[in-house]
């Protein structure tokens, strides 16, 4: 149960494997994996520590041929940028806050959210192939950008995923149908020019007041309750959104 200060990637990987410790990273450093591990990182990285205090440090240009396997760790202010992942980037159970992930994924699941909770995090992920799930964990006040040019349809969120006050931006021009579950006070927009149907699965019982930009869908697209279709102008009109019950404001504390 110690505070462990690390200064580089090797120390970080060793420290996070130890159960119970708090791992503290340097202030706003940039670790370039093209220099540290140009051949890529093979195998899974176990994360058993109690807490990671990232202090804004970021890991850049990593090629990960496994995943970060998190075991109940709390992660703050740690970023993975411009990565390539051969599989799901993060799995297990963990609580992330103020983290950023951006990169290219070859996995079927496009955004690394399996079994984890995320608060005020940002994702910008491009999927090479397959039908993605944009959200597979619990997200609050997150910004999620998903590029999936080849996908013809997807569930924007996996079953039991919860999204509250999230901004979801989908670049899926070939998608003909999209589904959303358990979304509360979220916005959905992007490039979904072929999408003629956006709605929910029958087992969704948690959605409320999530709005969809109909100008970003196919002409005449159907938007089914509890999702609410609005025009681009209406989505930017605070008075209109307030009139339909959509919350306007900064949300809860950080």
User: What pLDDT, in 10s, does the model give residues 192-235?
Assistant: 999 999 987 655 555 678 899 999 999 999 998 888 999 999 99
First to last CA, the chain: 26
* 3 state SS of 233: helix
pLDDT tens sequence across 112-134 = 566 788 999 999 988 876 665 55
pLDDT at residue 35, rounded to an integer? 98
* Structural domain boundaries in the chain: 1-107
Distance, CA of 207 to CA of 188 (rounded, Å): 13
pLDDT at 135 over 70: no
pTM to 2 decimals? 0.88
Q: What is the mean pLDDT of residues 21-48?
A: 97
- Under 8 Å CB-to-CB from 197, ≥6 apart: which residues? 176, 177, 178, 221, 222, 224
Mean pLDDT, the chain, integer = 87
* 3 state SS of 161: coil
The better pLDDT of the pair 205, 82 is held by 82
pLDDT at residue 156, rounded to an integer? 65
Distance, CA of 198 to CA of 170 (rounded, Å): 12
pLDDT at 143 over 60: yes
């Amino acid at each position: 149960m110690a505070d462990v200060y690390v200064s580089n990637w090797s120390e970080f990987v060793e420290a996070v494997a130890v159960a119970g410790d708090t791992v503290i990273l340097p202030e706003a450093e940039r670790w370039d994996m093209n220099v540290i591990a140009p051949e890529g990182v093979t195998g899974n990285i176990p994360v058993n520590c109690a807490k990671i205090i990232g202090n804004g440090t970021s890991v850049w240009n990593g090629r990960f041929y496994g995943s970060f396997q998190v075991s109940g760790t709390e992660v703050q202010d740690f970023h993975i940028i411009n990565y390539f992942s051969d599989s799901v980037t993060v799995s297990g159970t963990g609580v992330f806050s103020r983290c950023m992930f951006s990169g290219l994924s070859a996995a079927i699941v496009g955004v690394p959210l399996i079994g984890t909770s995320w608060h005020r995090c940002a994702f910008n992920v491009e999927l090479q192939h397959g039908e993605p799930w944009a959200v597979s964990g619990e997200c609050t006040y997150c910004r999620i950008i998903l590029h999936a040019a080849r996908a013809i349809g997807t569930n924007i969120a996996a079953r039991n995923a919860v999204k509250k006050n999230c901004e979801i931006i989908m670049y899926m021009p070939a998608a003909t149908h999209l589904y959303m579950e358990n979304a509360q006070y979220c916005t959905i927009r992007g490039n979904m020019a072929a999408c003629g149907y956006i709605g929910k699965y029958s087992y969704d019982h948690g959605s409320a007041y999530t709005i969809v930009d109909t100008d970003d869908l196919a002409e005449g697209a159907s938007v089914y309750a509890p999702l609410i279709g609005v025009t681009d102008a209406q989505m930017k009109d605070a008075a209109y959104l307030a009139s339909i019950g959509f919350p306007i404001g900064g949300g809860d504390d950080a």
